[in-house]
Amino acid sequence: MNQIILHCDLDCFFAAVEARDNPKYKGFPIIIGADPKRGNGRGVVSTCSYEARSFGVHSAMPISQAYRLCPQGIFLRPKYFKYRSASNQVMTILKEYSEKFQQFGIDEAYLDISETCKDFTDGKFIADNIRERIRKEIRLTISIGVAPTISLAKIASDHKKPDATTVVLPSQVCDLFKNEDITRIPGIGKKTKFSYYRKGIKTIGDIYAISLEKMELLFGKNGKWAWNVVHGNDLREINGFYEKRKSISKERTFHVDTNNITLVLQEIENLNEKIHKKLHRNNYFYKTITLKIRFEGFITYTRSKTISSLMRNANYAMKIILNLFQEFYNFNKKVRLIGIKFSNLEKNVKKKQISLLNYLNQESGVIK
């Protein structure tokens, strides 16, 4: 029997929680993110309501641009404690429907309900029941895709937002999604899409219309992946899907572009300490450390260092970050943003921790 997978995605989650808790906001453009400071603010939009999207506002947009597009919007700073609480309530409900459950971020989750459904009609019934419960019990809306694969369920959940259930079988992909942009396919991002566009592949329908051999010839492994996704050949299972988080990162946008190196280094140290507290709390170790620096004019650089052994040590990580930062000491530009990312994560590593005596004659948290 085919898998029956649900992808459950809360609609404009942060903004929806704010509208739920403040009825006066309903129907108005809500924009969650940095303080816009009447168009002179720093930072970006975290998320926004559908009303705000109608003005062209979207997540990751500079907050100053969002203000110019929608000055009448309701601009709010994120209240993560409220969002985590609402997310936990939603996930508790979702877990009742299957033991094969995998949360992805704060507002998405996958369920494998194959063992409780005889067909996709049953799958739709369960999805509708979930949506009704979340609407009544938590007063939020959620969109759900029902499909035989993880990837198709993800594409389906985006198809009729907000507050909808979409069922799709591989034979229906072209009819339902032929006009959808290729970025709907997991694994094709905003940067990758341009290589597809240049070769005439812009929509899911375009991929559906050509052979696997041609897709591989044009785009290599990524093209093979995209072709298999739209043809329903993604055979991954929920167990373990996205079980390992890929990275943990934090960024800081300065209120005013600065050439004060001491201030920049202090902020790097603060970010490093905060991330390591989170790494320790969730028992993550890492191999790769990335420094991100954005100068005035939005000129952005990233530099990374991968070590041979897993580690979790703030002091040693700071030394690596400072080495990465040295390249930028002589840049004659002010700094707008600084960020740090730890990736190649492993969780609950059950190996003996050794000291960095083999490395730097100090305790490290490195694991061989």
Residues with a catalytic annotation lie at 108
- Separation CA 181–CA 206 (nearest Å): 10
**Residue 41 structure tokens:** 């603010």
Buried b or exposed e, range 29-50, using 16+ CB within 10 angstroms: bbbbbbebeeeebbbbbbbbbe
How many alpha carbons lie under 13 Å from residue 120 in its C-beta half-sphere?
17
CB 67, CB 38: distance < 8 Å? yes
How many alpha carbons lie under 13 Å from residue 181 in its C-beta half-sphere?
10
Rg (CA), the chain: 23
CB 14, CB 32: distance < 8 Å? yes
φ and ψ at residue 230, rounded to 5 degrees: -70, -20
